[in-house]
Amino acid sequence: MKTSSTHQINKHRSAIIKYFLPSLFLSLPLFLFLLSLQSGHRRTTTVTTTIQAKPKPGSGDLLRIRPGYSSYDNYIQRQLNKTLNPKLRQIWTTRDWDRKIKVFSRFFDELKRQSLLSNDSRALCIGARVGQEVEALRRIGVSDSVGIDLVPYPPLVVKGDFHNQPFRNESFDFEFSNVFDHALFPEKFVAEIERTLRPGGVCVLHVSISRRADKYSANDLYSSEPLVQLFKSSDLVHVKKIDGFGLDTEVVFRKREN
């Protein structure tokens, strides 16, 4: 009796091994396939969430500082790489020279018609490189004009860092720049303008809002609103569209008298 029961148990075990194990092996690939689908779904969900989490222009992130600068010296060296590029300097002083002076003269003449600039203004051009802006001002009668850049270009441009202008407080009646996008510290860039601008003086910025600035830029601007917030001692005069060598917007401020 005992032997018969044992025999029956062994028989059941053999049946389980004979039919169950092959089924298990056959279903294993299907199980692994389903597992990979679930894992892939999780990865896709994560990526989608990350993309959606990025701030969009116009949703509060309107002025972005570009990453990648390990130190201020590293930032300065990158700016010098453009300013000292021999091919670019040759273009600026030859092929582009008269063309840019003509366009800048037109911009400045319009500002004179709006009483934002006069022949008596003491004017500063920030980030002037080889000084086409300065030359344009002088040609339309604003003779007391000078530019600053990391590399001097006498007699039009003196050496200076726009994060720390080499001028006394309230030195100028008019300041112009089309290199705001190269400012690593926009608040310092604007603070130096307001420091060196006389009460009632005018600052004109040409910026890129509708499109991304060049590869040497240190920030990207998506609205004029951050500029309004940065100019703490000045009032907004106007914002208008322009076509200025890749820049599309003119923003003008006047420093308050008091």
Distances (CA, A) of 107 to 21, 37, 133, 239, 243: 85, 61, 10, 14, 10
pTM score above 0.85: no
What is d(CA 219, CA 119) in angstroms, rounded to the nearest whole number? Answer: 33
* Mean pLDDT score of the chain: 83
Buried b (16+ CB within 10 A) or exposed e, 97-130: eeebbebbbebbeebeeeebbeeebbbbbbbbbb
- Does 155 sit behind a cis peptide bond, omega within 30 degrees of 0 on the bond before it? yes
The pLDDT score that the predictor gives to residue 156 is: 98
Q: What local confidence, expressed as pLDDT, does residue 215 receive?
A: 87
CA distances from 171 to 42, 174, 210 (A): 61, 9, 33
Give DSSP secondary structure letters for 59-87: TT--EEEPS--SSHHHHHHHHHHHHT-HH
Question: Residue 102 to residues 83, 93, 140, 155, 194: CA-CA distances in angstroms?
Answer: 22, 14, 10, 20, 28
What digits encode the pLDDT tens for the residues 188-218?
999 999 999 999 999 999 999 977 778 899 9
Residue pointed to by tokens 């202008």:
165
Higher model confidence: residue 212 or residue 50?
Answer: 212
Q: What is the CA angle 248-229-127, rounded to 5?
A: 50
Region 26-44: what's the mean pLDDT? 42
The per-type count for the chain, helices as H runs and strands as E runs, is: 7, 9
Quote the tokens at residue 151: 């590399």
pLDDT of res. 214: 83
Q: Answer yes or no: CATH 3.40.50.150 is held by domain 64-255.
A: yes
Q: Which of 226, 192, 193, 194 is nearest to 209 (CA)?
A: 226
Arithmetic mean of pLDDT, 89-117: 96
Q: Give dist(CA 87, CA 78) in Å, integer.
A: 16
Domain ranges of the chain: 1-54, 64-255
Q: In this predicted model, what pLDDT tens digit does every residue of 121-179 receive, in sequence order?
A: 999 999 999 999 999 999 999 999 999 999 999 999 999 999 999 999 999 999 999 99
- Please indicate whether residue 10 or residue 221 has the higher confidence score (pLDDT): 221
pLDDT digit string, tens, across residues 15-29: 444 544 445 444 544
3-state secondary structure (DSSP) of residue 54: coil
